[in-house]
Structure 1
Amino acid sequence: MLREIGISIYPDHSDPKQDQIYLEKAATLGYTRVFMSMLEVSPENQTATLEKFSQIIHFARDLNFEVILDINPQTFTKLGISYQDLSLFKALGASGIRLDEAFSGLQESLLSYNPEGLKIELNMSNDVAYLDNIMTYQPNAPFIYGCHNLYPQKGSGLPYDFFVKASQRFKKYGIKTAAFVTSQTATGGPWTINDGLPTLEIHRDWPIALQAKHLFATNLIDTVIIGNAYATDEELAQLAAVNRYCLTLNVEYEQQTTTLEKEIVEKNLHFRRGDITDLVIRSTQPRVKYAQKANPAHNHTQELQLGDIVIGNDDFKNYKNELQIILKPQQDIRKNLVARIKPEERFLLEYIKPWTKFKLQAQ
């Protein structure tokens, strides 16, 4: 499944010109999804409201965004339309609709065959057999998406273990999935309360790139969307720079690290050996590639700690120039300490499984 990044727009609470500027910035950086809330639409001034939505949706579509409108049963009532006719959303320019609340199962299945060809996105933030029920009704599976909720109130976001179980229910069917990260400065959202808009509670105060790295590392989320608007230019660029397919960890070099060692660290695609040990993550190909390169011992006498990056020195014989990441404290004078994983990213080491590919980069 191809992975993508997206932003959120709240036309009922935003300025159309600012929305357009935000969309243009995001498009330039490679963003391709837009989450747009219609939950706040009211019957009053409906014509003007729908025209506002239409203009910003078509503007986004012209920039090649896929636009999913967040709706619930009350939205149909407010707009005076039925589940059997989604032509209004098609006319607005939407790519699909997100059902914030559950229907009957059969209803979702029927909606997935809508003649307008709209995607039907389901709420993923429930660890119940909701999707299983829909799948028994044989939906048009390629038109079914999944997307977690976003949580404006501090303390209300999903706990990680619950998130995993709920997400696994969708991934087992190969459904395209999405979740939200939060800007640390943006204030725009669907409600007056806005303590950030992440899916996971642990993400609420994290840098935006780290939130995204975590979601992609789980292999449960295909689309990462910034929940609040408007993220800063710096945050947009930081998220856009995240490697969506290969876990890339930021490192800080030791002062004595050599040019060769820096090349081994940064100029190679690493992968963990399949026959793992719980003491270190071993990347063994560098010892083959750099077998003829000398690597004298230095910075090699201290006790090594979680997240330390070491490279075998000349005294390590056949294992010279093998790169390892320390998982448990140890001491070995045959290993040069060359760098350290940044402290805030060390928890991501648990996502490096047997044969997992990963990269290392200095910032």
Structure 2
Amino acid sequence: MKRKLGISLYPDHSNPETDRKYLQLAQKYGFSRIFMSMLEVTDGKEAVAAKFKELIFFAKELGYETILDVAPNIFDELGISYDDMGFFKELGADGIRLDVGFDGNKEAMLTFNPEEVAIELNMSNDVAYLDNILTYEANQPFLYGCHNFYPQEGTALPYDFFEKCSLRFKRQGIRTAAFVTSQVGTIGPWDINDGLPTLEVHRHLAPATAAKHLFATGLIDDVIIGNAYASEAELAAMGSVNRYQTQFAIEFVSDISEVERQIVLRAQHFRRGDITDQVIRSTQVRKDYKNENNPAHDNEIEFQPGDVVVGNDAFGKYKNELQIVLTPHRDSRKNKVGTIAQEELILLPFIKPWSKFRFEVAK
């Protein structure tokens, strides 16, 4: 399943012109999905329809898919029914996110709406909600899953719970989404906004790093910035994230050789299938660079987790093998060539046997 990047918009708390500029800026960096909140509308059906329709169709021209976040009170407020998706189709929405659930049969029936508006479910509960819906033979291509975000510091999901919830959807082949947070955005749905992440560990992380983590889990297809507005630097960094394999940011040591630099940056690395706890081994490079000399440097220290090392000339057949250190150790036959950025150490547990990975120079 192809992976997407998304942004969030809150039309009842923002300016339409600023929203349009934000859409254009994010589209420039590869964003193609919108989470748009309808939880706070109070202006009446005609005014709401005009405001949202104009913005959604502007986004549609830029190639965005828009999912509207709705709640039961919105249907009462606007005088519409869950049994008729015509209103949302008229607005140009590609889907609606159900803020609350029904009995399973209702959700399954909604996925067969003739307007083909997708139905997105809340993923942040470790219960058999999805299984129940699927037993009623839901129209699965029109069924999505998306985690919640959590505006209050300390209230977002811990990783192990997030994993359990996500696996329920991923095992069924459902498209999944989760939120990361801009470190400068101030707009969300409520008056409390300590950031809008799904995972608490992401609350104070750059959105690009958090996105790398979510993609590395293999559990999330679409990563959405929960608050508005992210800075251009944040959008650019997140837009450059490799969505399909982990790409570590590395800070090189000053004495790295050109051969070592090529080994790190040019190779398609993968972890050996017969793994060890001490290091992640990328062994193909030692074959590709077997004829290249590699004098010793930065080799008389204790290597720490996240250090990247390359075998030097004293390492025999293992010369020019690249390793990522997982546990501290000493070995003078290895040169330290760099260190993975501290905030990206959370990615290391997701480099499994045969996992592919690459490196980029830390910015």
1:237 Cα deviation from its structure 2 partner? 0.7
Give, in whole Å, the separation in 1 of the partners of 2:183 and 2:346: 21
Secondary structure in structure 2 of the residue aligned to 1:238: helix
Structure 2: gaps (5+ residues): none
Shift of 1:45: 3.3
Q: Tell me the residue number matched to 1:3.
A: 3
CA displacement, residues 154-196 of structure 1 (integer Å, 9 cap, x when unaligned): 1221111111110110001010000011111111111111111
Q: Does 1:251 align with 2:268?
A: no
**Secondary structure at 1:177's aligned position in 2?**
strand
Matches of 1:154 and 1:303, distance apart in 2: 37
Q: Does structure 1 conserve the Cα–Cα contact (< 8 Å) formed by 2:277 and 2:326?
A: yes
Share of identical aligned residues, percent?
58
Report the counterpart of residue 35 of structure 1 in structure 2: 35
Q: Residue 26 of structure 2 aligns with which residue?
A: 26
CA distance in 2, matches of 1:95, 1:211: 26
Residue aligning to 2:280: 281
Instruction: Determine the structure 2 residue equivalent to 1:68.
Output: 67
Question: Which residue of the partner structure matches residue 267 of structure 1?
Answer: 266
Shift of residue 55, structure 1, vs aligned partner: 0.5
Post-superposition Cα deviations, 1:248-296, rounded to whole Å, max 9, x if no partner, equal 1111111111000000011111000000011111000001101111112
CA separation in 1, counterparts of 2:328 and 2:190? 47
Shift of residue 298, structure 1, vs aligned partner? 2.1
1:27 alignment partner AA: Q
Root-mean-square deviation (CA), in Å? 1.0
Q: What number of residue pairs does the alignment pair up? A: 362
Q: Supply the AA of the counterpart residue of 2:116.
A: G
Report the equivalent of 2:122. Answer: 123
5+ long unaligned stretches in structure 1: none
Deviation at 1:83, TM superposition (A): 1.7
Q: What's 1:230 paired with?
A: 229
Letter in 2 for 1:267: R
Query: Within 5 Å, which residues of 2 pair with 1:1-363?
Result: 1-42=1-42, 44-363=43-362
For 1:54 and 1:211, the matched residues in 2 are separated by: 31
User: Which whole-Å CA distance do the structure 2 matches of 1:49 and 1:174 have between them?
Assistant: 34
Partner letter of residue 187 of structure 1? T
Q: Which amino acid aligns with 2:202?
A: H
Kept in 1, the 8 Å contact 2:89–2:117? The answer is yes
- How far apart are 1:39 and its partner, in Å? 1.1
Secondary structure, counterpart of 2:144 in structure 1: strand
Structure 1 residue 325 displacement after superposition: 0.9
CA distance in 2, matches of 1:118, 1:21: 26
2:93–2:117 contact (8 Å) kept in structure 1: yes
- Letter matched to residue 353 of structure 1: K
Tell me how far 1:313 sits from its aligned partner.
Answer: 1.1
Q: Could you state the TM-score of these two structures normalised by the residue count of structure 1?
A: 0.98
Alpha-carbon separation, structure 2, partners of 1:299 and 1:58: 57
Question: Shift in Å at residue 353 of structure 1?
Answer: 0.6
Alpha-carbon displacement from aligned partner over 1:81-116 (angstroms, at most 9, x marks no partner): 222111000001101111111111001100000000
Amino acid at match of 2:11: P
Equivalent AA in structure 1 for residue 240 of structure 2: A
Stretch moving more, 292-301 or 242-251: 292-301
SS in 2 for 1:77: helix
Give the AA of the match of 1:312: G
